[in-house]
Amino acid sequence: MSLYQNSVLNKYLKGLDTEKVNKVYQKFTEHFHNSTIQENIRNSKEEQYQGEFLIDLFVNVLGYTKNPTPNFNLTTELKNIRGSRKTDGAILSREHAPMANAPLAKVLAVIELKGTNTTDLSRVETQAFGYKNNQPGCNYVITSNFEKLRFYIDNAVEFEEFNLFQLSKERFNILYLCLSAEYLLNDIPKKIKNESLTQEENVTKKLYKDYASFRNEIFDAIQKENPEYDKLTLFKKTQKLLDRFLFIFFAEDRLLLPPNSIRAIINQWTDLKDKYDEYFPLYNRFQKYFGYMNTGHKGQKHDIFAYNGGLFAPDDILDNIKINDDLLYKHTLNLSNYDFESEVSVNILGHIFEHSLNDIDEIQAEIASREHAPLVEIKTSKRKKDGVFYTPKYITKYIVDNTVGKLCEEKKTELDIQEAEYEKERRGRQKATLKKLSQKLEDYRKWLLQITICDPACGSGAFLNQALEFLIAEHQYIDELQAKLFGDAMVLSEVENAILENNLFGVDINEESVEIAKLSLWLRTAQKGRKLTSLNNNIKCGNSLIDDPTVAGDKAFNWQNEFPEVFKEKNKKIYHITTAIHDSRTSARMKKYKVRERRDAGTNPYPNVIYFTPEDDLLITQTIADIVKEDALNLLAYNICADHIHLLIACDIEEIPSIMQKIKAITAKEVNKTREHVPITREHAPLANAPLANAPLENKKRKPLWSQKYSTPKEVTTQEQLDNTLRYIQNNRQKHELPPHSNTLQTIIDSMCVPVDKALEPEYTGGFDVVIGNPPYVGTKQIDEIDRNFYWNRFNDLLFSEMDLYQIFLYKSINEFLISSGKIGFITPNSYFTNVSFKNLRNYLINETSINEIIDFPYRFYPFNDVNTETSIIIITKVINEKNKTILKTVDKSLQLKYKGLLDVFRNQKHSKSI
């Protein structure tokens, strides 16, 4: 999570006074690499060492002057401008060092310290940035637990982290450049950051220009030389070819492949052609190398590992097309001049990919228009037309931290993982205690490896890459605690492939988006000598909202079929269940133990039964009908008969206890509301026309409505048994000589029962633990008519007068994609706050979910380039929980302009309130 662009950083590192820094590093290692001192620091509490830490590092090593020395530029316990809270330390501007009658010093950096029992410094961010936001003009934040130190500029999106106890000379050089008085007091770190941003922007523009030129010229040439293929197919293959080259350029500069591989192939081809008069098409030479990437190759000088992953697998078209030598030579040589290690970061590649997707859609639309409607003018990128925009990192980070991150915090709390327990001296602790603490970490890792995270409109993979980054850091956190527990050196687990295989899922309607999302994940996780993970089962192409092939064609997407490891099909069978009212039946247990004879000291030996009245029948049936609709139960038959009900239901056997518990509880509650002083019948005999006994009125407490147990569910296994059971239930009132139901009640029964075929349609359990993303913003008029009609029919309970795709994504993601305890984080337009068209969505969110947080961006602040849409972030937990408060955070526009990065503003609780 580097702050700087490598080429810019390297330029400044070369300017360091080597002799001076070497001496300072020696002084640093004499203290911070001394094992005895390290042990003493680990055993010290925060307040015991924090003052000495500032002296040991900032004064003795980094060259600051600490208060009360004259002209000091380092102080402790600095009070916020507003409020009484204090930061542990602060670095002050040299020009404004406080003297008598002088103005207050300008705070350049705030320092927040914790003891070594705080392992995860991310937990300190909120507090530290709260102090920063109370110091006008403060650019830097420093947090440390005495062993690790983090350095931030402006916001918490990116930082440099240094392990002081293991800091190499190379990393110390960066620490010195960031934190020494010589550089920080002159604002050099901010200057390097600004230069990095400028350099990244310049490299992005130049690289994309060359990248796009490569794609466009190669595509034009391929069309001419391979007329047997249609243009759209050739364009997609051109894009895949570029993806292959891009991975190779990246891999060779990061030593995953022999360096300068592409250039070596070009040189060999040139020599064969010019010196030995042996000509082979240049593309043939590259094809051979692609084959090595797929299957591996042992050469005389270098070995090529079989990275595979699907990107280099055989492709019938790419394996047989012809490509012009001169063009291939020119463009591969040009792109090979970039340094993909120091010059081209993964972040730059992300922007390249996003720009590419915009161009791809325009080119594809142009191809289609030329073939089918030559006069159509292509003005707008299809991605923009479809409301798809690249999400900035500060937003992806915030959403991931507050969905995946919150789930992780909840799990660590459940497992009682307390960092302080892993910091304690190992000697003298019982083996059982160590084993128990280690087991907690193993349990947490096991849980972490099965959490499922999905972006249903993944684009180039910005959210998935952020989730990947978070999960890798969380595994490193486990590794660190494990090392501390046993006093070992930390060994980082190689979990990247496991995360890709088990944790991350994405869908996008654009095929090229899917391929680029895969490539972006591969580039972040590729390691020398390790196969790429095939992502075909995790990142898929399809229409996330439409599963009907007659509407969406081959893009129709059935989530249950596509992700069977996430959605498990229910083992649905048909069961006949009856439940009777309280005290209306006599069980063998009641007879054996003479339950009635012994109750109330023998004064109440007869059954106490309150038979259903016609009003009860109607109320109970309507209540059950509401439950059937709310929970989408598959009820085939139902009847209510004076003192019992029959249910014929299709479900999984494991669902029956919760279904019956809910039916009994809610119906009892509703019926008891209507009963004040109801006389009790004596004995069970009468069902029809039976006189009521002269029992006392129940004016002290109500009797339970239902018996404690319901009948053992009886499975219906044959058609004959099903027909007999249906007749039995439907005719049960006649059997008990009860009058037919009223038309009103019978209508309710008919409306809540479904045919057998409908009842036995496949259903699924499960879902994703987290859904994150930036869904498309597309209003009614921009949606194709056939899709629009599908949405009106499928989401008729949601939609009202108008629709927007983001609205359907939000609803469907919560209702269908998430498990009951899952969390969702989306950035969307804020039009659903007040627009009447979204009233059903508002009601659903308020009444059916727990809204944890809404962040409303300021008026006329637009996070996305070229998109004038006011947006907001919403974080939701699916299950309704009163403990989940809704926090509305408003981001003041002046603060946004002042701090540039929004993440630190989000953390400013002054701008938050509960609603």
Q: What is the pLDDT of residues 780-812, one digit of tens each?
A: 888 999 999 999 999 999 999 899 999 999 999
573-759, superfamily in CATH?
Answer: Transposase IS200-like (3.30.70.1290)
Is 382 in a helix, a strand, or coil? helix
Tell me the pLDDT tens digit for each residue of 654-707: 999 999 999 999 999 999 888 764 444 433 333 444 444 444 444 445 568 898
Kind and range of the H or E run holding 175:
helix 169-179
Tokens found for residue 151: 């350095």
Q: Which residues pair with 640 in a beta bridge?
A: 645
Residue 864 has pLDDT above 80, yes or no: no
How far apart (Å, rounded) are the C-alpha atoms in residues 412 and 481? Answer: 13
Report the distance separating Cα 776 and Cα 782, nearest Å: 11
Does residue 762 have a cis peptide bond before it, meaning omega lies within 30 degrees of 0? Answer: no
Name the token pair of 202.
């310049």
Enter the tokens of residue 765. Answer: 């359990």
Core vs surface per residue 605-614: b (16+ CB within 10 A) or e: eebbbbbbee
Lowest mean pLDDT among 275-289, 396-410, 458-472, 699-713: 699-713
Cα(792)–Cα(790) distance, rounded to whole angstroms?
A: 6
- Whose tokens are 């944890």? That residue is 852
pLDDT at 289 over 50: yes
Give percent above pLDDT 70 in the chain.
87
On whether the CB atoms of residues 879 and 132 are closer than 8 A, the answer is no
CA-to-CA distance for 703 and 608, rounded, in angstroms?
Answer: 9
**Integer CA distances (angstroms), 627 to 406, 718, 903, in order:** 32, 28, 43
Beta strands in 432-572 (DSSP E): 453-455, 504-508, 539-541, 567-569
H-helix or E-strand containing 161? strand 155-163
Helix, strand, or coil here: 573? strand
> What SS3 state is found at 22?
helix
SS3 416: coil
DSSP one-letter code for 95: G
Where is average pLDDT lowest: 203-207, 301-305, 360-364, 713-717? 360-364
Q: How confident is the model at residue 340 (pLDDT cuts 50, 70, 90)?
A: confident
pLDDT, tens only, 318-339: 999 999 999 999 999 999 999 8
With cut-offs at 50, 70 and 90, classify the pLDDT of residue 883: low
At position 711, the amino acid (one-letter code) is S
Q: Is 503:454 a contact under the CB 8 Å cutoff?
A: no
Structure token digits, residue 795: 């989401």
Mean pLDDT of 2-26: 93
Q: pLDDT tens for residues 486-499? A: 877 666 668 999 99
* Token representation of residue 439: 């087991």
pLDDT, mean over the chain:
86
Does residue 902 register a pLDDT over 70? Answer: no
Q: Which of 578, 622, 634 is nearest to 754 (CA)?
A: 634
Break the chain into its structural domains and give their ranges. 6-186, 195-383, 573-759
The pLDDT, as a whole number, for residue 884 is 57
pLDDT at 910 over 60: no
CA of 461: how far to CAs of 503, 524, 626, 773, in Å?
14, 11, 41, 10
Give exposure, 181-196, as e/b (b: 16+ Cβ within 10 Å). Answer: bbbbbeebbeebbebb
Q: How confident is the model at residue 915 (pLDDT cuts 50, 70, 90)?
A: very low
Yes or no: say if 112 and 128 are a contact pair by the CB < 8 Å rule. yes
Phi, psi (deg, nearest 5) at residue 307: -70, -30
With vertex at residue 534, the alpha carbon angle to CA 529 and CA 535, rounded to the nearest 5 degrees, is 135
**What's residue 909's pLDDT?**
38
pLDDT band at 371 (very low <50, low <70, confident <90, very high): low
The reported pLDDT for the residue numbered 804 is 93
Judge residue 771's burial from the number of C-beta atoms within 10 Å of its C-beta, 0-12 exposed, 13-18 middle, 19 or more buried.
Answer: buried
Write down the pLDDT at residue 885: 56
| The dihedral sign for the CA sequence 116, 118, 122, 124 | negative
pLDDT value of position 856? 80
Distance from C-alpha of 349 to C-alpha of 523, rounded to nearest angstrom: 9
Query: Structure tokens of 516?
Result: 């680029």
Contact call for residues 4 and 190 (beta carbons, < 8 A): no
Most confident of 158-167, 248-257, 590-599: 158-167
Q: Identify the H or E element spanning 294.
A: helix 282-295
At residue 602 the predicted structure's pLDDT band, cuts being 50, 70 and 90, is confident
Q: For position 861, what pLDDT does the model report? A: 58
Evaluate whether 810 touches 759 at the Cβ level (below 8 Å): no
Could you read off the pLDDT of 510-536 as tens digits, one per residue?
888 898 899 999 988 988 888 888 999
C-alpha 230/C-alpha 223 separation (Å) is: 8
Give the residue-averaged pLDDT of 599-620.
86
Of 325, 251, 255, nearest in space to 293 by CA: 251
Please count the other Cβ atoms lying within 10 Å of the Cβ belonging to residue 798.
20
What is the pLDDT, as a whole number, of residue 707? Answer: 87
**Total residue length of the chain:** 915
Band (pLDDT 50/70/90 cuts) for residue 375 is very low
Q: What angle do CA 115, 118, 121 make, to 5 degrees?
A: 110
Give me the DSSP letters along 652-700: -GGGHHHHHHHHHHHHHHHHHHH-SS---EESS--SSSPPPP-PPP--S
| Pairing relationship of beta strands 871-877 and 86-92 according to DSSP bridges | unpaired
In the chain, the N- to C-terminal Cα span, in Å, equals: 35
Q: For residue 370, what pLDDT band results from cuts at 50, 70 and 90?
A: low
**Domain range 6-186, CATH class:** alpha beta
Amino acid occupying residue 639 = N
pLDDT (tens digit, 9 = 90+) per residue, 124-135?
A: 998 999 899 888
β-bridge mates for residue 297, sequence order: 304
Question: What's the rounded Cα separation, in Å, for the pair 61 and 303?
Answer: 45
What is the CA angle 313-315-317, rounded to 5? Answer: 165
Query: Residues 906-913: contacts with CB within 8 Å, 24+ apart?
Result: 906/398, 906/855, 907/125, 907/126, 907/129, 907/130, 907/133, 907/156, 908/129, 908/130, 908/133, 909/130, 912/887, 912/888, 913/887, 913/888
Mean pLDDT of 248-265: 91
Task: Please give the radius of gyration of the chain, using alpha carbons only, rounded to the nearest integer.
Answer: 34
Residues 6+ apart with CB under 8 A from 62: 176, 179, 180, 181
Query: Is residue 769 predicted with pLDDT exceeding 50?
Result: yes
If DSSP codes are grouped into helix, strand and coil, which group holds residue 856?
A: strand
Cβ–Cβ under 8 Å, residues 777 and 829: yes
Measured distance CA(308)–CA(73) in Å, rounded: 55
Greatest extent of the chain over all pairs of C-alpha atoms, in Å = 118
Sequence-distant (6+) residues with CB within 8 A of 524 are 346, 465, 468, 469, 496
